[in-house]
């Protein structure tokens, strides 16, 4: 009997953990009785009653397990670490807020049985805010064009991963893992399954503009070189333009010595323009350096506080 592991990362999901555990249990008992299974919740140091409810669920069902993190280790480290702790022949990762449809799990397993090592859930439609979706679409299009690695548009990590790929993740030892990029770069034969992302069942999303920016910069610094190349090429082009403007000004001054007035406005505009350009590229280089520094420190992905039912 093959074993299916389901990983459910959660943070402040007190209204969703019990319904999610019940939905998964019913799904495996009624639709997938030919498989053994485990459901692993990894809690990223919730501040509500999520942990108490996880402990209650684990006491009532030995197939449901939980990892309680000592602190909040971010939206990427915690799920990645949780995947490495599973024991099934494949791992299915989905969010606890029901935006990733539980009913797609049988379809994922069906494609896995056909030989696909990775089955990705790709959002073709979404009930989220249209402006947010537009920004996400622009981001995916941009990163896809700039990256040397083919990126998967509207893929959030929801999908099935064969045990062989989990072992690849284990060997990476990446302290700042970006699973979406890793799947695109190192993932074997995969199948993309389209779905419509629903609204949250309950609770409030914990993603904000800063967390979305953090995700975007992690993928940008991990999978693109174009930022540094733009800084180099752009700096050279602008320096040449500045040199030509200086020559033109010098010639005009020599020809019209008494009448030509350069004025202070072009000088001020030039100072502000070049100053802001320098700050932008210094910040961009700083993002790359910060990403390198995090990897060099090689800190653990997660520090556990407690395990339940392992």
CA distance 231 to 267: 23
Given this model, what pLDDT does residue 261 score? Answer: 72
Give CA angle at 294 (214, 225), nearest 5°. 65
**Phi/psi of residue 7, nearest 5 degrees:** -100, 130
CA distance 126 to 130: 8
Indicate whether 239 pLDDT > 60.
yes
Indicate whether 224 pLDDT > 80.
no
Which candidate, 62, 69, 59, places its Cα nearest to that of 11?
Answer: 69
CB 18 within 8 A of CB 53: yes
Of 102-116, 136-150, 191-205, 290-304, the poorest mean pLDDT is in: 136-150
Give the DSSP H/E element, type plus range, for residue 69.
strand 64-69
Rg of the chain taking only CA atoms, in angstroms: 25
CA 252 remoteness from chain centre: 55
Given this model, what pLDDT does residue 153 score? Answer: 76
Mean residue pLDDT across the chain: 83
Given this model, what pLDDT does residue 205 score? Answer: 61
Task: Write the DSSP symbol of residue 103.
Answer: G
CA distance 166 to 158: 15
CA distance 17 to 42: 11
Given this model, what pLDDT does residue 127 score? Answer: 66
Residue 116's pLDDT band (cuts 50, 70, 90): very high
Average pLDDT over residues 92-115: 92
CA distance 52 to 123: 32
Higher model confidence: residue 84 or residue 211?
84
Which candidate, 168, 182, 165, places its Cα nearest to that of 118?
Answer: 165
Neighbouring residues of 280: CB distance < 8 A, sequence distance ≥ 6 = none
Dihedral (CA of 245, 246, 252, 256) sign? positive
Give the DSSP H/E element, type plus range, for residue 93.
strand 90-93
Determine what percent of the chain is predicted with pLDDT higher than 70.
83
Give CA angle at 60 (55, 63), nearest 5°. 90
Average pLDDT over residues 60-76: 91
Given this model, what pLDDT does residue 119 score? Answer: 94
Give the DSSP H/E element, type plus range, for residue 20.
helix 17-30
CA distance 214 to 219: 9
Average pLDDT over residues 173-190: 81
Place of tokens 């520090």: 303
Q: How far apart are the first and last CA of the chain?
A: 20
Given this model, what pLDDT does residue 66 score? Answer: 95
CA distance 65 to 127: 31
Average pLDDT over residues 267-294: 76
Average pLDDT over residues 142-154: 71
Given this model, what pLDDT does residue 262 score? Answer: 66
CA distance 228 to 18: 47
Given this model, what pLDDT does residue 159 score? Answer: 93
Residue 183's pLDDT band (cuts 50, 70, 90): confident
Higher model confidence: residue 66 or residue 155?
66
Higher model confidence: residue 23 or residue 241?
23
pTM over 0.85: no
Indicate whether 129 pLDDT > 70.
no
What does DSSP say about strands 155-162 and 118-126: parallel, antiparallel, or unpaired? antiparallel
Given this model, what pLDDT does residue 196 score? Answer: 84
């Amino acid at each position: 009997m093959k074993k299916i592991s389901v990983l459910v990362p959660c943070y402040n999901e007190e209204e969703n953990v019990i319904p999610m555990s019940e939905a998964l249990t019913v799904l495996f008992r009624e639709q997938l009785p030919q498989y053994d299974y485990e459901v692993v919740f990894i809690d990223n140091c919730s501040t509500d009653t999520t942990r108490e409810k996880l402990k209650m669920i684990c006491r009532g069902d030995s197939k449901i397990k939980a990892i309680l993190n000592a602190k909040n280790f971010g939206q990427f480290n915690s799920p990645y670490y949780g995947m490495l702790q599973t024991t099934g022949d494949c791992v299915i990762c989905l969010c606890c807020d029901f935006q990733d449809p539980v009913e797609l799990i049988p379809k994922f397993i069906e494609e896995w049985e056909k030989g696909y090592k990775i089955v990705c859930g790709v959002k073709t439609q979404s009930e989220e805010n249209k402006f947010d979706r537009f920004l996400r679409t622009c981001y995916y299009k941009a990163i896809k064009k700039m990256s040397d690695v083919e990126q998967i548009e509207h893929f959030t990590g929801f999908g099935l991963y064969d045990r062989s790929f989990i072992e690849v993740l284990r060997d990476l030892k990446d302290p700042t893992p970006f699973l979406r990029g890793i799947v695109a770069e190192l993932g074997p034969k995969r199948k993309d399954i389209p779905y419509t992302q629903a609204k949250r069942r309950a609770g409030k999303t914990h993603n904000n503009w800063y967390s979305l920016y953090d995700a975007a910069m992690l993928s940008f610094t991990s999978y693109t070189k174009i930022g540094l190349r733009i800084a180099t090429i752009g700096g050279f082009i602008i320096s040449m333009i500045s040199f030509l403007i200086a020559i033109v000004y010098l010639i005009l001054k020599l020809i019209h010595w008494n009448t030509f007035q350069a004025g202070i406005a072009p000088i001020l505009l030039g100072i502000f323009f070049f100053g802001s350009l320098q700050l932008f590229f210094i910040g961009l280089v700083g993002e790359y350096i910060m990403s390198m520094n995090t990897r060099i420190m090689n800190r653990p992905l997660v520090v556990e506080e407690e395990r339940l039912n392992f």
